[in-house]
Structure 1
């Protein structure tokens, strides 16, 4: 009797907005490439509900793992990064490690469905922050891949930093720099390009301990998928491949950019109508991501700088550090009557909370993006041909800016970090804001050259999924073949 074969792909994202977006994008690709395969998104109950609501147009299954936040010192109902300040993310990292037994039982159930006449090929695609799933896949003979939602260059540097923790090799000359042997392409890193956790000297520090447990799992996977493009990040991808010792294949399958948001919210329509009144490529879009903000003094200085330049802007604004980022925004955090003057002169719009970022970036009036340079924002900006003003705040964002500025010349760094208000306010003085905006959005040979480079990157990203041999399309097919899904 002939044996039939079915394919089941299990997707396990880490619960952050950008991570969920990346996995939904992978699900869309897999549904196109494997129309008959079963696709299941796995997470905790609240995250499954959010993923289900975001994927109504896809034919997906969902599986919720049992999870009680209070058992892990998390607030009631806290199952994602959106409910935590950045410094508390380690609580969620550790809590998700506790899901291994339940995930093991789920995978065991899938594999046990094999019979003499029906075989199930199971492949787990997991977020880098749940790379421990590789051990589960190994125990049950399943294929496994780690998906990196960040860029290759930033990931490689971040990986090298954690491998050296604790006790990073800072220069003995006390100039605030360090060099990492694992990534010689980077040169010197300055202390201002490191998160505060990298100055911990205790090996038992929870975040350091977590990464020490996590990193070895990444070496045990069958494949690494990266949300980037080979032609866009050749240096970064070479660094990732070297870090893995050449033993794990690395396939760039980006850019995985969210689809255009469809919304009928009046405030969102107002923003787009306001953009319709502005000159082409004249507006600066400002957003520090869904979970980041800046110091009160930085916010005040940036507002004053925008007013002094007179350049039109859309600013997605949230309460500053020290306040509930999801709370109400208070006028006292900006210069007196700042918003009223901006509206009266038709020079600017403040958006509180969520904004239709993709629609803003795709609008012809948008000429620059002041961003924290999280990877999703980077790809969304460049895919729409919008140059970047960089203000990295944490994680690998500092190294994303390095790559964008030094390798491609499509980004100019305005400021760095949000931990030391006094130092960073100096970095956003009005004169510097004016100079950087002129470089990125002005009418000078320098700004024109930047726009040409951005257009080149935009073309590179678009061509990666071309029907006639785009590099990311080819990489995806090679991956599916390697893990017996195609």
Structure 2
């Protein structure tokens, strides 16, 4: 469908209208949808624009909010040309989701449709504000042609990752030698000509930006935000966007996942949640090693065992992983754990009192959700910003342990390494100290987003700025 004419009529000359342009990957779609709800809570009309498939995906998977809280968010499901996307290949030495690249490029076809929407909104709004993902400025750049338009670059990464990208080797003066020694080269985390294209696009079109937004806060990343402010003083750290309290009881659409009933029966902080996000496919050999390591650790666990997303998540043909013989039967008999093969309610699992650890790929969404819920992380980065996030978690914030060392990314992670990491986090004095630090950081972050907190002040300042 085209732009929403009814939504256009609802905008008034005395108000600001915001248009969100996300990059078409789950971790990016999710963050700008959360931000849409946040901005809309200030009684501002928000338009969320992406491809039809990705709009459906974002709405289907959003967690933690009352589904009725979207009355001021208008969704635009724009059509784009059909694209072919190969299945994920778990045997690649590097785990970047190359199979999703065709869908990334499909979103570039949105420029004309978004330009038409912006032009229409500019006639009925005092100001049109475009908030675009830093990887896709191309789509929203026509805001520069509007007499009452302005654009803001949204960074869906940790400030630490952006800090390392922006400052290059000069960032070394801000971090200690132990972190410098382990700092991943940004180029090795992408390893894709396609992503080089999107990064170059960011550099070419940065002139359209009136400022930068970050899904983080000073409670988590003050030194890196301060350093970035010296490069661009027009920035707002307004995260984390994910809810710090889960809304479920009053939401008529809420259906409790079966794994939460299992969690209800477990002891406080006794379960490790294992999930590697939506873009990673593991080999059968790695899955076997992970299965043995988890079982041998003796710790209770919930393991989300899903293949990487396809470009169209609504297709039914999904690879099913094979586990060791009688594995799930043993887990059920011993009450040690459960395997989840469908979409899992990650926020609710992390918020549950029985969850005491999170083995994660360290996508920024997952890191923020774990931090806000006070759950320490066992790090297993796969690609992109994840190696930097893992280093932030383990060496800077000191709220996690290493499972997979980025330097060994092309090697099989043996079951004994996995077993030891799980025990270190879940059943050692060191793990208890890490958990205590994580809970303390969680409390600080929650105070920051509450009334009178630093993050709430940043959000208020940004909203006042675009309403000026």
Please state which band the TM-score falls in when normalised by the shorter chain.
Answer: 0.7 to 0.9
Which of 53, 56, 62 in structure 2 is aligned with 1:46?
53
User: How far 1:369 sits from its partner (Å)?
Assistant: 0.5
Q: 1:54-96 deviations in whole A, cap 9, x for unaligned?
A: 65531122334341124xx558xxxxxxxxx811343333332
Report if the CA contact (8 A) 1:194-1:394 is conserved: no
Higher RCO structure, 1 or 2 (CA under 8 Å, sep 6+):
2
Change in CA separation of 1:441 and 1:48 when aligned onto 2, cut-off 3 Å: closer
Residue 145 of structure 1 is matched in structure 2 by 152
Report if the CA contact (8 A) 1:415-1:424 is conserved: no
The DSSP-based 3-state class of the residue aligned with 1:254 is coil
Change in CA separation of 1:424 and 1:329 when aligned onto 2, cut-off 3 Å: same
Residue 254 of structure 1 is matched in structure 2 by 239
The DSSP-based 3-state class of the residue aligned with 2:15 is strand
* 1:368-447 superposed matches below 5 A: 368-416=357-405, 423-425=411-413, 428-430=414-416, 432-444=417-429, 446-447=430-431
Residue 19 of structure 1 is matched in structure 2 by 28
Whole-angstrom CA distance in 1 between matches of 2:345 and 2:339: 13
The alignment status of 1:207 with 2:191, answered yes or no, reads: no
Change in CA separation of 1:127 and 1:196 when aligned onto 2, cut-off 3 Å: closer
* 1:47-446 superposed matches below 5 A: 47-51=54-58, 56-59=68-71, 60-70=73-83, 86-113=97-124, 120-133=126-139, 135-141=141-147, 142-158=149-165, 180-181=169-170, 184=173, 185=175, 187-189=180-182, 195=188, 197-198=190-191, 205-242=193-230, 245-246=231-232, 249-258=234-243, 260=246, 262=248, 268-269=257-258, 271-319=259-307, 327-331=318-322, 334-416=323-405, 423-425=411-413, 428-430=414-416, 432-444=417-429, 446=430
In structure 1, the gaps of 5 or more residues are 76-84, 114-118, 162-179
User: How far 1:7 sits from its partner (Å)?
Assistant: 1.9
The DSSP-based 3-state class of the residue aligned with 1:382 is helix
CA RMSD of aligned residues (A): 3.1
Whole-angstrom CA distance in 1 between matches of 2:260 and 2:118: 46
User: How far 1:274 sits from its partner (Å)?
Assistant: 1.6
Change in CA separation of 1:424 and 1:155 when aligned onto 2, cut-off 3 Å: farther
Change in CA separation of 1:434 and 1:276 when aligned onto 2, cut-off 3 Å: same
The DSSP-based 3-state class of the residue aligned with 1:187 is helix
The DSSP-based 3-state class of the residue aligned with 1:69 is coil
Change in CA separation of 1:227 and 1:233 when aligned onto 2, cut-off 3 Å: same
Report if the CA contact (8 A) 1:151-1:227 is conserved: yes
The alignment status of 1:478 with 2:467, answered yes or no, reads: no
The DSSP-based 3-state class of the residue aligned with 1:96 is helix
Q: TM-score, normalised by structure 2?
A: 0.82
The DSSP-based 3-state class of the residue aligned with 1:257 is coil
Change in CA separation of 1:97 and 1:257 when aligned onto 2, cut-off 3 Å: same
User: How far 1:42 sits from its partner (Å)?
Assistant: 1.4
Whole-angstrom CA distance in 2 between matches of 1:355 and 1:321: 14
Relative to structure 2, which stretch is displaced further, 379-388 or 86-95? Answer: 86-95
Change in CA separation of 1:42 and 1:364 when aligned onto 2, cut-off 3 Å: same
Which of 425, 429, 442 in structure 2 is aligned with 1:458?
442
User: How far 1:454 sits from its partner (Å)?
Assistant: 0.6
Whole-angstrom CA distance in 1 between matches of 2:347 and 2:28: 17
Whole-angstrom CA distance in 2 between matches of 1:28 and 1:136: 24
Q: TM-score, normalised by structure 1?
A: 0.79
Whole-angstrom CA distance in 2 between matches of 1:121 and 1:275: 48
Whole-angstrom CA distance in 1 between matches of 2:448 and 2:332: 41
Whole-angstrom CA distance in 1 between matches of 2:462 and 2:298: 50
